[in-house]
Each structure stands twice: as structure tokens, then as C-alpha cells.
Amino acid sequence: MTAPVLQVSGLTTRFRTGYGTVTAVDDVSFTVGRGETLGLVGESGSGKSVTAMSVLRLVAPPGRIEAGRVELNGVNLLSLDEEGMRQRRGTQAGLVFQNPMTALNPVFSIGWQMGEVLKAHGRGDAGAAAVHQALAAVGMPDPQRQAASFPHQMSGGMRQRVVIAMGMLNEPQLLIADEPTTALDVTIQAQVLQLMKKLTHDHGTALLLITHNMGVIARMCDRVAVMYAGEIVEEAPVRELFADSRHPYTRGLLRSIPRVDQPRGQLPTLPGAPPDMSALPGGCRFRERCEFAQQRCQAHPDLLAIAPGHSTRCWVAQEGTSLAETPARGEAVDVVL
Ligand SMILES: Nc1ncnc2c1ncn2[C@@H]1O[C@H](COP(=O)(O)OP(=O)(O)OP(=O)(O)O)[C@@H](O)[C@H]1O
Ligand SMILES: [Mg+2]
């Protein structure tokens, strides 16, 4: 097997604030291989975005990466100086955010901004032709005209295509997409996802895809890591996660996908709320909400493999006890957890 493009191990990021210390990312490890898509899923506040920002070393104070390694093609990004890091952002690792306006400057044309991205990475001479080609690759009709237009002249879907084109401009080996389609309506969402799938497939790009949406996970990912309260609690190939999840939290997420035949207003939801990240309970962090919680769950479980490629951070599942049947799910439908 070839070495993974991205290998994250023991990553820990904390925010030390006047209100206390938040361990947003706690000893997180995962890999993403060439051409592979790893989904990162979990409720709001579980640490998905801080994980993404930590990988690219974009966490701002009072946040600080306190431990771990982030190896991109075998180089530990956490040991590089800022210049070394800057060179890698955009060339080796691209980033696509939820809101395209955060990545685009309203006062410059699209073509000019894309030209700057090329220049910043020493490819200024590739010029307009490379920009037009990149816009055509994301399905923009009339790339020349689009390059001359400004962000406000475009629809949300068009702008997100531009941001993806920018993220892919230097053909990075790794693309990190944080809720790339959440702000778009469902039809455009499907088109943009399809596009990302095609681009990453054509270029062999490793994709770390962050989403709330289990439907998006089902369509896009090869493997899935589930985050809860700053930790990965389960990791599995996508089919196995949907068919045979081994963590009560993941099962809760899957149960909360609405079924097409279910009457409105009867969606099962996860009872309770995630713990306060600045005052985490000892033991299993999910135990307050867990229907299987037992005495031993007061000790903190490790993330252990229970089958090839499938690991769980649950005492009950680790000893082989079957968790209750996962209720049948509907189609891969849109859901915001
Ligand atoms: N600047 C900050 N200062 C203090 N705490 C922060 C800061 N940024 C993030 N956090 C905390 O880190 C934790 C993880 O946040 P993160 O943004 O990674 O969640 P997320 O999983 O991306 O959620 P969402 O699905 O809502 O985007 C949260 O508890 C959040 O409050
Ligand atoms: Mg987030």
C-alpha cells in the first residue's frame, strides 16, 4: 500500500480563554490516501472545523495546537516555519469553506483573484489560459466572460464553483472541504458535490470532507470518521458504517436521518446535548446520552479496532455485545443534525 497523502496523529488543539480551556480536538488520528475521500461527521461543536484548521495550521489565538503530527506527503507540517507552511497551502493542500464570500474579495474580478493565486505559487506565467481552463473544469459556461466578472454578479452556486476552481488551481494532493455545499440549495448542492467528486477522481486528490449531512457522506465518501466532543468515536468504511455501526452515537446520528415514509414531526432525535467542552466529564463522553451506559463507562474508552478498518470508542461494542438493531433508514436524504 502506498503511504497516505495525509497522516494525522495525536492532534490536540486547545483554546485557553478567560472562561476556561476548551479541548476542541483531543488526540485525533486519521489518514487520507491518494484519491480517497474521508468524511468527518458529527454534531455542531464536535471539533470538525478546528481539526481542518489545525491540519492547515490556520488556528488563530487563543487556539493552539498543543500536540500531534500532521504529515503531508511525509513532511510534518507542524515542524515547518511559516514560509514553508505558506508555500504548501494552496499548492499541496487546498481549502474550500462553507461560505464562498469568505474566500473571495468583492472588489476584484474573479480572473484577477485566480491569477493572484497562481502568482502566489510561482505560476504567474500560466496566466489567463490556466484561469479559463480551471473555470471550464468546474463547468462554468463562457469562462472568459466569467473571469471578468465580480463575485456579486454571480449566484451562490457559481461562487462556490469558483472557490472550488481556486482550491484545485494548483492541483493540490489534498483538498479540505468544510461544509462546502451547506449554503446552497439542494439541486445546486448535488451539482457541486458531483463536480468535486469528478475533480478529485480525475486528479487523484485526497479529500477530507466535513459535513453534517449523512446523505452527503453516503454519496461522497470512502471512509467515515465520526467526531464527538473533540474525539473520533468511530471510524469505518462508508458502507460498513451505515450497515453495521458499532458506536451508539453513530447509531443515533443514523437514526436521525428522516425516512421518506415517516410522518412529519416523528423524527427520532438524539436525546440530550453534547457535554460542555470546557468541563468534560471523565469516562466515556457520550455516556450521559447513551442507552447502553454501564458502570465501566465511567472509565475513558480507547479507540480500538474491532474489524479491519473499523474502530470504535465504546466499551460495550468492543467486547462484542451487539448494539440494538439500527432502525431502517430512508434514502440518503438531506438532514441537518
Ligand atoms: N476561537 C475560539 N475560542 C474558543 N473556543 C472555540 C473557538 N473556536 C472554536 N471553539 C470551540 O471549539 C469547539 C469545536 O468547534 P468547531 O468549530 O470545530 O466545531 P464544528 O464541529 O466544526 O461545529 P459546526 O458543525 O457547528 O461547524 C467548540 O466547542 C467551539 O466552541
Ligand atoms: Mg464547523
What is the predicted pLDDT for the residue at 189? 81
Cβ contact 192:184 at 8 Å:
yes
The domains of the chain are located at 1-87+212-299+315-337
Matching residue, cell 470546557? 278
Closest ligand 1 atom, CA of 50? 18
Could you read off the pLDDT of 295-336 as tens digits, one per residue?
999 999 999 999 999 999 999 999 887 776 544 343 333 433
Q: What pLDDT digit, counting tens, does each position of 124-182 carry?
A: 777 889 999 989 888 888 999 999 999 999 988 889 889 888 888 888 999 999 998 87
pLDDT of 336 = 37
Output the pTM of the full model: 0.90
- Say yes or no: CB of residue 273 within 6 Å of ligand 1: no
Of 274 and 29, which is predicted with more confidence?
A: 29
Q: How much is the average pLDDT of 8-29?
A: 96
What is 1-87+212-299+315-337's CATH superfamily? P-loop containing nucleotide triphosphate hydrolases (3.40.50.300)
Question: Is the pLDDT higher at 254 or at 324?
Answer: 254
Which residue among 26, 40, 43, 48 has the greatest number of ligand 1 atoms within 8 angstroms of its CB, and so is best to mutate? 48
- Could you say which ligand is closest to the alpha carbon of residue 231? 1
Pocket test for ligand 1, best of 16, 21, 46 (most atoms within 8 A of CB): 46
Report how far ligand 2's centroid is from the alpha carbon of 220 (Å).
18
pLDDT digits (tens, 9 = 90+) for 85-115: 988 887 899 888 777 777 889 999 999 999 9
Q: Is 105 in the pocket of ligand 1 (CB under 6 A)?
A: no
Mean pLDDT for 203-209 is: 95
What's the gap in Å between 51 CA and the centre of ligand 1?
A: 9
pLDDT at 15: 97
User: Which DSSP string do the residues of 219-288 spell out, in sequence order?
Assistant: HH-SEEEEEETTEEEEEEEHHHHHHS--SHHHHHHHHTSPPTTSPTT------S-PPPTTSPPSS-TTGG
Q: Give the pLDDT mean for 279-300.
A: 93
User: What is the reported pLDDT for 332?
Assistant: 37
pLDDT value at position 268? 57
Is there a contact between 171 and 34 (Cβ–Cβ < 8 Å)? Answer: no
Nearest CA to ligand 1 atom 4: 15
Tell whether ligand 1 has an atom less than 6 A from the beta carbon of residue 276.
Answer: no
Q: Which residues of 227-243 are buried (b: 16+ CB within 10 A; e: fewer)?
A: bbbbbbbbbbbbebbbe
Calculate how far, in angstroms, residue 26's C-alpha sits from the geometric centre of ligand 2. Answer: 16
Residues in the chain: 337
> Ligand 1: which residue has its CA nearest to atom 7?
15
Nearest ligand to the CA atom of 51? 1
